[in-house]
Amino acid sequence: MRVFCIAILLLGAASPIVAADSNIPPTMEGKVFVGYQGWFTPQDQSGNWIWWHYGLDRKFEPGTCGIDMWPDTTDLDADERIPTPFRNADGTNACVFSSENPKTVERHFLWMRQYGIDGAFLQRFATDVTFARPHLQKVMDNVRKAAVHNGRSWAIMYDLSGLKHEQIRSVVMQDWKSLFHQDRILNDTTYLHHRGKPVVAVWGVGFNDGRQYSLGECLELVQFLKHDPIYGGNAVMLGVPYWWRQLRRDAVNDPLLPQVIDQADIISPWSVGRFQTPADAAATEFTPLRPDRDYLSAKGLDYLPVAFPGYSFHNASGGKSRLDQIPRQGGLFLWAQALAIKKAGANMVYIAMFDEINEGTAILKTTSNPPAGSSPFVTYNGLPTDHYLWLAGQIGRLLRDEIPQTPLPPARSSTRTP
Protein backbone atom coordinates (compact mmCIF):
# COMPACT_ATOMS: atom_id res chain seq x y z
CA MET A 1 0.00 0.00 0.00
CA ARG A 2 1.31 3.43 -0.95
CA VAL A 3 1.24 5.66 2.11
CA PHE A 4 2.19 9.33 2.02
CA CYS A 5 3.36 10.49 5.44
CA ILE A 6 4.89 13.87 4.76
CA ALA A 7 7.10 15.28 7.51
CA ILE A 8 6.19 12.33 9.70
CA LEU A 9 9.16 12.91 11.97
CA LEU A 10 8.01 16.44 12.65
CA LEU A 11 4.43 15.37 13.18
CA GLY A 12 5.18 12.63 15.66
CA ALA A 13 3.68 9.17 15.84
CA ALA A 14 0.11 10.01 14.85
CA SER A 15 -1.31 7.38 12.54
CA PRO A 16 -2.05 8.59 9.01
CA ILE A 17 -5.57 8.40 7.64
CA VAL A 18 -5.33 5.50 5.23
CA ALA A 19 -7.59 5.24 2.22
CA ALA A 20 -9.32 2.04 1.26
CA ASP A 21 -8.18 2.70 -2.32
CA SER A 22 -4.44 2.03 -2.41
CA ASN A 23 -3.98 3.19 -6.01
CA ILE A 24 -3.93 6.96 -5.55
CA PRO A 25 -0.78 8.01 -7.48
CA PRO A 26 1.41 11.04 -6.65
CA THR A 27 0.45 13.02 -9.74
CA MET A 28 -2.39 15.11 -11.14
CA GLU A 29 -1.76 14.15 -14.75
CA GLY A 30 -4.64 12.55 -16.62
CA LYS A 31 -7.11 13.52 -13.93
CA VAL A 32 -10.22 15.62 -13.49
CA PHE A 33 -10.70 17.64 -10.31
CA VAL A 34 -13.56 19.70 -8.95
CA GLY A 35 -13.82 22.66 -6.63
CA TYR A 36 -15.79 21.91 -3.47
CA GLN A 37 -17.30 24.94 -1.73
CA GLY A 38 -18.74 23.08 1.25
CA TRP A 39 -20.30 26.30 2.56
CA PHE A 40 -24.04 25.56 2.67
CA THR A 41 -24.98 25.97 6.33
CA PRO A 42 -28.69 26.30 7.16
CA GLN A 43 -28.18 26.67 10.93
CA ASP A 44 -25.52 28.12 13.19
CA GLN A 45 -24.01 26.42 16.21
CA SER A 46 -26.93 27.55 18.40
CA GLY A 47 -29.56 26.16 16.05
CA ASN A 48 -30.58 29.54 14.63
CA TRP A 49 -31.65 29.53 11.01
CA ILE A 50 -29.03 31.52 9.12
CA TRP A 51 -29.34 29.87 5.69
CA TRP A 52 -25.69 30.69 4.97
CA HIS A 53 -25.12 30.70 1.21
CA TYR A 54 -28.70 29.56 0.64
CA GLY A 55 -30.43 32.81 1.46
CA LEU A 56 -29.81 36.51 1.77
CA ASP A 57 -29.44 38.28 5.11
CA ARG A 58 -30.42 35.10 6.98
CA LYS A 59 -33.65 34.77 4.98
CA PHE A 60 -34.41 31.94 2.58
CA GLU A 61 -37.87 32.07 1.07
CA PRO A 62 -39.49 32.70 -2.30
CA GLY A 63 -38.23 36.06 -3.49
CA THR A 64 -35.26 36.06 -1.08
CA CYS A 65 -32.85 33.49 -2.36
CA GLY A 66 -29.11 33.11 -2.89
CA ILE A 67 -29.06 30.07 -5.17
CA ASP A 68 -29.85 29.67 -8.87
CA MET A 69 -30.09 25.86 -8.88
CA TRP A 70 -32.05 23.60 -6.53
CA PRO A 71 -30.23 20.48 -5.25
CA ASP A 72 -31.86 17.13 -5.90
CA THR A 73 -32.32 15.46 -2.50
CA THR A 74 -33.91 12.24 -3.77
CA ASP A 75 -30.89 10.14 -2.82
CA LEU A 76 -30.53 11.72 0.62
CA ASP A 77 -31.74 10.06 3.80
CA ALA A 78 -34.34 11.72 6.02
CA ASP A 79 -31.69 13.04 8.41
CA GLU A 80 -29.94 14.79 5.51
CA ARG A 81 -32.95 16.63 4.13
CA ILE A 82 -33.61 20.07 5.57
CA PRO A 83 -37.13 21.49 4.93
CA THR A 84 -37.34 25.06 3.69
CA PRO A 85 -40.15 27.63 3.29
CA PHE A 86 -40.18 26.79 -0.43
CA ARG A 87 -42.92 24.46 -1.65
CA ASN A 88 -42.89 21.68 -4.20
CA ALA A 89 -45.68 21.35 -6.75
CA ASP A 90 -47.48 18.89 -4.46
CA GLY A 91 -47.42 21.34 -1.57
CA THR A 92 -44.68 19.66 0.46
CA ASN A 93 -41.68 21.57 1.75
CA ALA A 94 -38.76 21.60 -0.67
CA CYS A 95 -35.58 20.36 1.02
CA VAL A 96 -31.89 21.22 0.79
CA PHE A 97 -28.72 19.75 2.33
CA SER A 98 -26.11 20.91 4.82
CA SER A 99 -22.39 20.79 4.11
CA GLU A 100 -21.87 20.17 7.81
CA ASN A 101 -23.65 16.81 7.64
CA PRO A 102 -20.95 14.12 7.28
CA LYS A 103 -23.41 11.74 5.59
CA THR A 104 -24.04 14.26 2.82
CA VAL A 105 -20.37 15.03 2.22
CA GLU A 106 -19.73 11.29 2.20
CA ARG A 107 -22.44 10.97 -0.44
CA HIS A 108 -20.88 13.71 -2.56
CA PHE A 109 -17.52 11.95 -2.55
CA LEU A 110 -19.27 8.68 -3.31
CA TRP A 111 -20.67 10.34 -6.42
CA MET A 112 -17.17 11.44 -7.35
CA ARG A 113 -15.98 7.85 -7.09
CA GLN A 114 -18.96 6.43 -8.96
CA TYR A 115 -18.61 8.82 -11.88
CA GLY A 116 -14.81 8.88 -12.14
CA ILE A 117 -13.96 12.30 -10.68
CA ASP A 118 -10.49 11.98 -9.21
CA GLY A 119 -10.50 14.53 -6.43
CA ALA A 120 -11.61 17.85 -4.99
CA PHE A 121 -10.04 21.12 -3.95
CA LEU A 122 -11.69 22.18 -0.69
CA GLN A 123 -12.25 25.92 -0.79
CA ARG A 124 -10.86 27.59 2.32
CA PHE A 125 -11.76 31.25 2.25
CA ALA A 126 -9.18 33.28 4.11
CA THR A 127 -11.82 35.68 5.39
CA ASP A 128 -13.61 32.74 7.05
CA VAL A 129 -10.33 31.82 8.70
CA THR A 130 -10.12 35.41 9.96
CA PHE A 131 -13.55 35.12 11.59
CA ALA A 132 -12.79 31.59 12.83
CA ARG A 133 -16.07 30.25 11.47
CA PRO A 134 -16.65 26.88 13.16
CA HIS A 135 -18.05 25.29 10.02
CA LEU A 136 -14.55 25.27 8.49
CA GLN A 137 -13.38 22.53 10.82
CA LYS A 138 -16.56 20.48 10.43
CA VAL A 139 -16.53 20.55 6.67
CA MET A 140 -12.82 19.80 6.43
CA ASP A 141 -13.22 16.84 8.79
CA ASN A 142 -16.12 15.62 6.64
CA VAL A 143 -14.07 15.94 3.46
CA ARG A 144 -11.06 14.13 4.93
CA LYS A 145 -13.12 11.14 6.02
CA ALA A 146 -15.18 11.04 2.82
CA ALA A 147 -12.01 11.16 0.68
CA VAL A 148 -10.60 8.22 2.61
CA HIS A 149 -13.73 6.12 2.37
CA ASN A 150 -14.04 6.71 -1.36
CA GLY A 151 -10.40 6.78 -2.42
CA ARG A 152 -10.56 10.34 -3.76
CA SER A 153 -7.78 12.90 -3.52
CA TRP A 154 -8.38 16.20 -1.77
CA ALA A 155 -6.37 19.36 -1.23
CA ILE A 156 -6.68 22.76 0.41
CA MET A 157 -7.39 25.72 -1.86
CA TYR A 158 -6.98 29.07 -0.14
CA ASP A 159 -9.14 31.80 -1.64
CA LEU A 160 -7.52 35.13 -0.80
CA SER A 161 -10.57 37.21 -1.78
CA GLY A 162 -11.42 39.84 0.80
CA LEU A 163 -8.09 39.83 2.63
CA LYS A 164 -6.66 43.19 3.61
CA HIS A 165 -3.12 44.45 3.24
CA GLU A 166 -0.56 42.44 5.24
CA GLN A 167 -3.06 39.73 6.26
CA ILE A 168 -1.57 36.94 4.15
CA ARG A 169 1.19 36.38 6.68
CA SER A 170 -1.00 36.65 9.78
CA VAL A 171 -3.98 34.69 8.41
CA VAL A 172 -2.99 32.27 5.65
CA MET A 173 0.50 31.34 6.79
CA GLN A 174 -0.62 30.91 10.39
CA ASP A 175 -3.56 28.82 9.26
CA TRP A 176 -1.31 26.55 7.22
CA LYS A 177 0.89 26.05 10.28
CA SER A 178 -2.20 25.02 12.22
CA LEU A 179 -3.36 22.60 9.52
CA PHE A 180 0.14 21.15 9.46
CA HIS A 181 0.62 20.75 13.21
CA GLN A 182 -2.81 20.47 14.82
CA ASP A 183 -4.84 18.88 12.04
CA ARG A 184 -1.94 17.04 10.43
CA ILE A 185 -3.66 16.99 7.08
CA LEU A 186 -0.50 15.90 5.28
CA ASN A 187 -0.72 12.61 7.13
CA ASP A 188 -3.77 11.72 5.05
CA THR A 189 -2.92 9.16 2.40
CA THR A 190 -5.57 10.75 0.18
CA TYR A 191 -4.10 14.25 0.37
CA LEU A 192 -3.40 15.29 -3.23
CA HIS A 193 0.18 15.06 -4.44
CA HIS A 194 1.81 16.14 -7.68
CA ARG A 195 5.27 15.03 -8.73
CA GLY A 196 5.66 13.56 -5.26
CA LYS A 197 4.80 16.75 -3.32
CA PRO A 198 1.61 17.70 -1.45
CA VAL A 199 -0.42 20.30 -3.34
CA VAL A 200 -1.51 23.58 -1.80
CA ALA A 201 -3.61 25.84 -4.00
CA VAL A 202 -3.78 29.63 -3.64
CA TRP A 203 -6.54 31.36 -5.59
CA GLY A 204 -6.74 35.07 -6.30
CA VAL A 205 -3.26 36.13 -7.41
CA GLY A 206 -2.97 39.03 -9.85
CA PHE A 207 -6.62 39.98 -10.44
CA ASN A 208 -7.34 43.62 -11.27
CA ASP A 209 -10.50 43.94 -9.16
CA GLY A 210 -9.04 46.14 -6.44
CA ARG A 211 -7.69 43.55 -4.02
CA GLN A 212 -5.92 45.05 -1.02
CA TYR A 213 -3.18 42.46 -0.60
CA SER A 214 -0.12 42.87 -2.81
CA LEU A 215 1.71 40.68 -5.28
CA GLY A 216 4.71 40.95 -3.01
CA GLU A 217 2.70 39.29 -0.25
CA CYS A 218 1.61 36.58 -2.69
CA LEU A 219 5.23 35.95 -3.63
CA GLU A 220 6.14 35.63 0.05
CA LEU A 221 3.33 33.09 0.53
CA VAL A 222 4.48 30.99 -2.45
CA GLN A 223 8.05 30.95 -1.17
CA PHE A 224 6.83 30.03 2.33
CA LEU A 225 4.78 27.09 1.06
CA LYS A 226 7.63 25.88 -1.12
CA HIS A 227 10.79 26.59 0.83
CA ASP A 228 10.06 26.98 4.54
CA PRO A 229 12.21 24.37 6.35
CA ILE A 230 9.22 23.10 8.36
CA TYR A 231 6.05 24.06 6.48
CA GLY A 232 7.37 24.04 2.93
CA GLY A 233 8.11 21.28 0.45
CA ASN A 234 4.73 21.68 -1.25
CA ALA A 235 3.71 21.93 -4.89
CA VAL A 236 2.00 25.32 -5.12
CA MET A 237 -0.90 25.81 -7.49
CA LEU A 238 -1.91 29.38 -8.27
CA GLY A 239 -5.39 30.45 -9.38
CA VAL A 240 -4.70 33.42 -11.62
CA PRO A 241 -6.59 35.67 -14.07
CA TYR A 242 -7.51 34.30 -17.48
CA TRP A 243 -5.30 36.84 -19.23
CA TRP A 244 -2.37 36.48 -16.84
CA ARG A 245 0.24 36.08 -19.54
CA GLN A 246 -0.76 39.23 -21.44
CA LEU A 247 -1.21 41.30 -18.22
CA ARG A 248 -4.51 42.71 -19.44
CA ARG A 249 -8.30 42.50 -19.07
CA ASP A 250 -8.84 40.66 -15.75
CA ALA A 251 -5.13 40.76 -14.81
CA VAL A 252 -3.12 43.54 -13.24
CA ASN A 253 -0.56 45.14 -15.52
CA ASP A 254 2.31 44.52 -13.14
CA PRO A 255 5.66 42.91 -14.06
CA LEU A 256 5.73 41.25 -10.63
CA LEU A 257 2.89 38.90 -11.62
CA PRO A 258 5.07 36.83 -14.02
CA GLN A 259 7.69 36.61 -11.28
CA VAL A 260 5.16 35.21 -8.82
CA ILE A 261 3.93 32.73 -11.42
CA ASP A 262 7.46 31.58 -12.21
CA GLN A 263 7.92 30.63 -8.56
CA ALA A 264 4.86 28.32 -8.51
CA ASP A 265 4.47 24.74 -9.72
CA ILE A 266 1.00 24.66 -11.29
CA ILE A 267 -0.91 27.52 -12.90
CA SER A 268 -4.71 27.50 -13.20
CA PRO A 269 -6.24 30.49 -15.04
CA TRP A 270 -9.84 31.32 -14.07
CA SER A 271 -12.03 30.95 -17.16
CA VAL A 272 -15.51 31.24 -15.60
CA GLY A 273 -17.49 33.89 -17.46
CA ARG A 274 -14.75 34.65 -19.97
CA PHE A 275 -16.70 33.12 -22.91
CA GLN A 276 -20.29 32.05 -23.42
CA THR A 277 -20.85 29.61 -26.29
CA PRO A 278 -19.45 26.27 -27.49
CA ALA A 279 -17.94 28.07 -30.47
CA ASP A 280 -16.19 30.53 -28.15
CA ALA A 281 -14.95 27.63 -26.05
CA ALA A 282 -13.57 25.80 -29.09
CA ALA A 283 -11.62 28.90 -30.11
CA THR A 284 -9.76 28.92 -26.77
CA GLU A 285 -7.61 26.04 -28.04
CA PHE A 286 -5.54 28.60 -29.91
CA THR A 287 -6.04 31.64 -27.67
CA PRO A 288 -5.08 31.38 -24.90
CA LEU A 289 -4.73 27.64 -24.15
CA ARG A 290 -1.88 26.64 -26.47
CA PRO A 291 0.24 29.75 -25.85
CA ASP A 292 -0.34 29.41 -22.10
CA ARG A 293 0.73 25.78 -22.16
CA ASP A 294 3.80 26.51 -24.29
CA TYR A 295 4.90 29.35 -22.01
CA LEU A 296 4.52 27.25 -18.87
CA SER A 297 6.16 24.21 -20.40
CA ALA A 298 9.21 26.30 -21.27
CA LYS A 299 9.35 27.38 -17.62
CA GLY A 300 8.99 23.82 -16.34
CA LEU A 301 5.56 24.58 -14.86
CA ASP A 302 2.38 22.52 -15.10
CA TYR A 303 -0.95 23.72 -16.44
CA LEU A 304 -4.40 23.12 -14.94
CA PRO A 305 -7.05 24.74 -17.15
CA VAL A 306 -10.50 25.46 -15.70
CA ALA A 307 -13.74 24.34 -17.36
CA PHE A 308 -17.24 25.29 -16.23
CA PRO A 309 -20.64 23.92 -17.28
CA GLY A 310 -22.54 27.22 -17.40
CA TYR A 311 -23.23 30.30 -15.30
CA SER A 312 -26.17 31.99 -13.58
CA PHE A 313 -26.16 34.52 -10.75
CA HIS A 314 -29.69 35.89 -10.89
CA ASN A 315 -31.19 35.39 -7.45
CA ALA A 316 -28.24 36.40 -5.29
CA SER A 317 -27.76 39.52 -7.42
CA GLY A 318 -31.32 40.63 -6.78
CA GLY A 319 -32.20 40.07 -10.42
CA LYS A 320 -29.40 42.29 -11.73
CA SER A 321 -27.80 39.35 -13.53
CA ARG A 322 -29.75 37.44 -16.17
CA LEU A 323 -30.98 33.97 -15.23
CA ASP A 324 -29.04 31.28 -17.12
CA GLN A 325 -26.63 33.91 -18.40
CA ILE A 326 -24.30 31.30 -19.91
CA PRO A 327 -26.49 28.33 -20.95
CA ARG A 328 -25.20 24.78 -20.58
CA GLN A 329 -26.76 23.54 -23.82
CA GLY A 330 -27.12 20.03 -22.48
CA GLY A 331 -23.39 19.72 -21.82
CA LEU A 332 -22.20 20.95 -25.23
CA PHE A 333 -20.62 24.02 -23.64
CA LEU A 334 -18.64 22.01 -21.08
CA TRP A 335 -17.59 19.39 -23.61
CA ALA A 336 -16.35 22.04 -26.06
CA GLN A 337 -14.07 23.39 -23.32
CA ALA A 338 -12.77 19.93 -22.46
CA LEU A 339 -12.05 19.19 -26.10
CA ALA A 340 -10.17 22.48 -26.55
CA ILE A 341 -8.15 21.76 -23.42
CA LYS A 342 -7.24 18.31 -24.70
CA LYS A 343 -6.31 19.55 -28.18
CA ALA A 344 -4.16 22.28 -26.67
CA GLY A 345 -2.04 19.61 -25.02
CA ALA A 346 -3.12 19.96 -21.39
CA ASN A 347 -3.43 16.70 -19.48
CA MET A 348 -5.48 17.65 -16.42
CA VAL A 349 -8.53 19.81 -15.75
CA TYR A 350 -10.27 21.62 -12.91
CA ILE A 351 -14.06 21.77 -13.19
CA ALA A 352 -15.64 24.72 -11.44
CA MET A 353 -17.51 23.66 -9.39
CA PHE A 354 -18.99 20.58 -7.73
CA ASP A 355 -21.56 22.27 -5.50
CA GLU A 356 -21.66 25.93 -6.59
CA ILE A 357 -25.42 26.40 -6.90
CA ASN A 358 -25.09 30.11 -6.07
CA GLU A 359 -23.50 30.97 -9.42
CA GLY A 360 -25.04 28.09 -11.32
CA THR A 361 -21.77 26.28 -12.06
CA ALA A 362 -22.56 23.14 -10.03
CA ILE A 363 -22.28 19.63 -11.46
CA LEU A 364 -23.85 17.79 -8.51
CA LYS A 365 -27.35 16.38 -8.81
CA THR A 366 -29.92 19.15 -9.17
CA THR A 367 -33.61 18.89 -9.91
CA SER A 368 -35.47 19.78 -13.07
CA ASN A 369 -38.56 20.33 -10.91
CA PRO A 370 -37.54 23.08 -8.50
CA PRO A 371 -40.06 24.73 -6.17
CA ALA A 372 -42.36 27.21 -7.82
CA GLY A 373 -42.67 30.82 -6.74
CA SER A 374 -41.09 34.21 -7.19
CA SER A 375 -37.52 32.84 -7.23
CA PRO A 376 -36.67 31.24 -10.61
CA PHE A 377 -34.12 28.45 -10.98
CA VAL A 378 -31.91 26.99 -13.70
CA THR A 379 -32.50 23.29 -14.39
CA TYR A 380 -30.92 20.55 -16.44
CA ASN A 381 -33.92 20.82 -18.79
CA GLY A 382 -35.11 17.28 -18.25
CA LEU A 383 -31.72 15.59 -18.45
CA PRO A 384 -30.90 13.07 -15.70
CA THR A 385 -29.95 14.71 -12.43
CA ASP A 386 -26.51 13.08 -12.66
CA HIS A 387 -25.82 14.23 -16.22
CA TYR A 388 -22.93 16.56 -15.40
CA LEU A 389 -21.35 14.17 -12.94
CA TRP A 390 -21.32 11.60 -15.71
CA LEU A 391 -19.95 14.11 -18.22
CA ALA A 392 -17.15 15.08 -15.83
CA GLY A 393 -16.11 11.44 -15.71
CA GLN A 394 -16.09 11.31 -19.50
CA ILE A 395 -13.78 14.32 -19.56
CA GLY A 396 -11.32 12.35 -17.47
CA ARG A 397 -11.50 9.52 -19.97
CA LEU A 398 -10.92 12.04 -22.77
CA LEU A 399 -7.76 13.33 -21.06
CA ARG A 400 -6.41 9.77 -20.76
CA ASP A 401 -7.19 8.89 -24.40
CA GLU A 402 -9.69 6.24 -23.31
CA ILE A 403 -12.30 7.72 -25.66
CA PRO A 404 -11.85 9.56 -28.97
CA GLN A 405 -11.83 13.32 -29.43
CA THR A 406 -15.31 13.82 -30.84
CA PRO A 407 -17.00 17.20 -31.43
CA LEU A 408 -20.04 16.03 -29.46
CA PRO A 409 -20.05 14.37 -26.03
CA PRO A 410 -20.12 10.56 -26.11
CA ALA A 411 -23.52 8.91 -26.19
CA ARG A 412 -24.69 7.66 -22.84
CA SER A 413 -25.82 4.07 -22.85
CA SER A 414 -27.60 4.28 -19.50
CA THR A 415 -29.05 7.03 -17.35
CA ARG A 416 -28.81 4.96 -14.19
CA THR A 417 -26.34 5.73 -11.43
CA PRO A 418 -23.19 3.60 -11.99
pLDDT in tens, 189-202: 999 999 999 999 99
Looking at the DSSP assignment, which residues form a beta bridge with residue 268?
Answer: 239
Say what the pLDDT of residue 19 is.
47
- What parts of the chain have a pLDDT lower than 50? 1-22
Residue 418 has a pLDDT of: 61
For 8-399, give the CATH class: alpha beta
CA geometry: angle 373, 377, 383, nearest 5 deg: 125
Are 411 and 385 in contact, with CB atoms under 8 Å apart?
no
User: Which residues make Cβ contacts (< 8 Å) with residue 182, sequence separation at least 6?
Assistant: none
Give the pLDDT of residue 204: 98
- Give pLDDT, residue 414: 63
pLDDT of residue 131: 86
pTM, entire model:
0.94
Q: What is the pLDDT of residue 309?
A: 98
CB environment 141-175: b (16+ within 10 A), e (fewer): ebbbbbbbbbbbbbbbbbbbeebeeebbeebbbeb
What pLDDT is attached to residue 341?
Answer: 98
The pLDDT of residue 417 is 54
Query: What are the boundaries of each domain within the chain?
Result: 8-399
CA nearest neighbour of 101 among 90, 93, 109: 109
